Structure 1
Amino acid sequence: MHRVVVDEPYRFVPPYRPRWFSKLFRLWLKPFLRRRYGLVDYTFTGLENLRNSIAAQDGIILCPNHCRDADPMLIGMLCKATPCHVYSMASWHIFNQSALEAVVVRMLGGFSVFREGIDREALDTAVRVVSTAERPLVVFPEGVISRSNDRLLPLMDGVSFIARMAAKKRAELAPNSRVVVIPVGIRYELLGDPETSANPALTRIERQTFWNTHEDQPLLDRIRRLATALLAAREVEILGDARSGPVRPRIRSLIDHVLQPNERRWLGKPRSGDVIIRVKDLRTAILPELLRGNLTPQETRERWKVL
């Protein structure tokens, strides 16, 4: 699991511009995706939109949905099919997992962006890439792995800012070209039997949650039972007792119970609405104090617990 919050001073990581590494990497990409993620085949539709924009020398922003860890690597297969090379914006924490991962991401055209603040260097780099039409720029615009297969959720504000700024500069450099934002829908399909594929994971979670497993029950019934049990356990942990009623309102209530006290403390008032944005705003408010390093050990532990 990735360490999402990094308590180190931010340093911008620029992209690696030569293309030799990404060319070599593509030779290894398909067997890697098969071995690591079980991806055995690929179909691309609508590639003519990207190809036409490249031929017209448009500035291009590719905006894929982000539903699995394999998505960034899968975009490499799209680039191979087009063909083209890309730059991509990657969260700062990606460059702080391991030295090898940081080197590979950068050599494939990735550059860092600090999500918990205003990153001028990242924005300037993104605008320059798009306005000069050097390569398409890949931005996962939802801001988080959404788990929404084949569905692109609302885009974060940064994409429209980059597109507007780049369009102004592109108009000066090449009046007959433009800046385009191309949505990309990633959809995974399971080729095997869902019950056979899901049974080992469900059985393992049932053993951790219940006394007995329930292989004799229908798949959806097992999932509902587990969801209800795990939600009730969280309610007991956080609220003191399990609640009743439909699952979705209970989840919303649990989220508000976790976030709103911290929003009162760090943001001045409780909020509602999109959970991703609310969590991002809390991180943005809490992280600067950790980075300054002038907190007591107790205060540091307290803030890490909140994060």
Structure 2
Amino acid sequence: MPSAKVQAAQPALGFIQPAYTPWLHRLCRLALPAVLGSRRIGIGAVSGVVELAELCAAAQNGEVRLLIAFRHPSTTDPLVMAQLLWKEVPRAARRHGIRLAHPVHSQFLYDRGIPLWAGAAAGWMLARLGGVPIQRGRLDRRALKTARHLLCSGPFPLAIAPEGATNNHDELLGPLEPGLAQMAFWCCEDLVAEGREERVVIVPVVLRYSLLHRDWAPIDRLLTALEGVLGITLPPAGAPALPTEEADHRYGRLLLISGRLLTQLEHFYRLGSGEEPGLTPGDPALSARLSRLQATALAAAESHFDLQPRGTILERCRRIEQAGWQAIYRDDLAACAPLERSLADWCAVEAARHLDHMRLVEYFASMGDAYVAEKPSVDRYLEVLLILWDAIAWIRGRRGERPPAPAARQVRIIVGEPIEAGPRLADYRRDRRLAVDQLTDVLRASLEAAMLD
């Protein structure tokens, strides 16, 4: 079962004030190659970096305020963004004679939940690298005020992942949250109010991961490992298969793994007959079963927290998370009598248990039944199998367990066309919501164009 970290009610979550610390930044910069190496991540082609170096120089010269909007397909993205800013941008600046002062860095928004599962040391480090923690699912006024001030007057650019969380798909852009566009317009207004003339520029950055050695051996190892965990026994292999037959066989194994996992989860949630229906490529039953499972798991959490099932899956997840945190992290514990404190502890444990239903849905929120079928590449297989591996490891209480013989990957970094927010300020003043939506659409189009580069 998932590891139970919450055994009692906790003091209310405090805001972790960003406190950029130069010596820690230098230390992390020195350690970055080793950390990337430990994750078996290599840096491939980097495009558009000269333009980003020029914008960083303009920001240092007081000509622009820079907002970096990066795609977030993987938990290793912060390391790759650090490589881009700490290594690639200064290298490009030296190569092209761009005057750029050190350090080259960005402050950033991060999920306030990270220190809860990664530990207090992670929160300490993120704060001293200039990170701003934000609570998802609520209007976190202090985080927004801090980020707004940093974007307008901070020493570095501000980096935000407009998808809001990892979607685990390299070739599929998730829904964009409107916060980044809103932040850009706030900065425009603040600059005008202060009589300043800097431009507000959004820079889209796309990260594209792929296997360094494009063979199927890591995929087959993952398939075998997942089959073992799920209790799937395949018949012994016969004569050597033709390449097309091998591909069909591999996809059949993926369907079998997906079906077995769904069946076991359906049995847990008491859905269906408990029998394991067969699946075929393109079978709409897979998508329907996944949707029903997600709805059932979310309903279990929403019922406990007395929430209405409104919005998208991710919006529902954010509201559940916030309700759970309110039950676990409380500001009234000091005034509780002994019995009240015991009941508060009981409520906290129950809240954490019901949050697990939401966590399970998060793993599958971005999965679709056609992603591999429409393009059965080795990279898409790897993405989907890693989602399944991480979900099963979490269910077994082994979050973060690495898959067998993880494959080495390389990442391509594409810096897209910059977007000027200032010329849209008049539109924002006429209709704020419409202007934010339009700027978000422009950002989406720019990210999608960079993904095709």
Q: TM-score, normalised by structure 2?
A: 0.60
Q: Which residue number corresponds to residue 300 of structure 1?
A: 348
- Cα offset, 1:212, TM superposition: 2.1
> SS of 1:189's equivalent?
strand
AA aligned opposite 1:223: L
Q: In 2 relative to 1, CA 43–170 (structure 1 residues): closer, same or farther, beyond 3 Å?
A: farther
Q: How does 1:1-307 map to 2 (within 5 A)?
A: 7-35=10-38, 37-57=39-59, 58-79=64-85, 80-83=87-90, 84-96=104-116, 97-132=118-153, 134-173=155-194, 175-213=196-234, 216=237, 218-240=249-271, 241-242=273-274, 246-260=285-299, 262-263=301-302, 266=305, 268-271=307-310, 273-292=311-330, 295-307=343-355
> SS of 1:239's equivalent?
coil
Q: Which runs of 5+ in 1 are unaligned?
A: none
Deviations 1:131-179, CA, capped at 9 Å, x for gaps = 1252111122222221021544222233233222122112344643222
AA aligned opposite 1:231: L
AA aligned opposite 2:56: I
User: Does the 8 Å CA contact 1:141/1:156 hold for their aligned counterparts?
Assistant: yes
AA aligned opposite 1:228: G
User: Does the 8 Å CA contact 2:137/2:315 hold for their aligned counterparts?
Assistant: no
Counterpart CA distance in 2 for 1:130 and 1:278 is 29
Q: In 2 relative to 1, CA 19–289 (structure 1 residues): closer, same or farther, beyond 3 Å?
A: same
Counterpart CA distance in 2 for 1:94 and 1:237 is 28
- Cα offset, 1:116, TM superposition: 4.5
> SS of 1:43's equivalent?
strand
> SS of 1:30's equivalent?
helix
Q: In 2 relative to 1, CA 16–205 (structure 1 residues): closer, same or farther, beyond 3 Å?
A: same
- Cα offset, 1:105, TM superposition: 2.1
Counterpart CA distance in 2 for 1:194 and 1:86 is 36
User: Does the 8 Å CA contact 2:20/2:127 hold for their aligned counterparts?
Assistant: no
Larger radius of gyration: 2
AA aligned opposite 2:163: E
Counterpart CA distance in 2 for 1:29 and 1:268 is 43
Q: In 2 relative to 1, CA 262–23 (structure 1 residues): closer, same or farther, beyond 3 Å?
A: closer
Counterpart CA distance in 2 for 1:305 and 1:192 is 41
Sequence identity, in percent? 23
Counterpart CA distance in 1 for 2:175 and 2:10 is 29
Q: Report the number of matched residues.
A: 305
User: Does the 8 Å CA contact 1:61/1:137 hold for their aligned counterparts?
Assistant: yes
Q: Which runs of 5+ in 2 are unaligned?
A: 91-103, 238-245, 278-283, 334-339, 356-453
- Cα offset, 1:268, TM superposition: 5.0
AA aligned opposite 1:115: R
> SS of 1:66's equivalent?
coil
AA aligned opposite 2:52: L
- Cα offset, 1:185, TM superposition: 1.1
Counterpart CA distance in 1 for 2:55 and 2:156 is 11
Counterpart CA distance in 1 for 2:72 and 2:4 is 18
Deviations 1:199-243, CA, capped at 9 Å, x for gaps = 222212111223525784633222121111111211121133347
C-alpha RMSD of the superposition: 2.9
Q: In 2 relative to 1, CA 85–296 (structure 1 residues): closer, same or farther, beyond 3 Å?
A: closer
AA aligned opposite 1:227: S
AA aligned opposite 2:53: R
> SS of 2:182's equivalent?
helix
- Cα offset, 1:193, TM superposition: 3.6
Q: TM-score, normalised by structure 1?
A: 0.86
Shifted more, 205-214 versus 140-149: the winner is 205-214
- Cα offset, 1:262, TM superposition: 4.1
Shifted more, 196-205 versus 103-112: the winner is 103-112
> SS of 2:41's equivalent?
coil
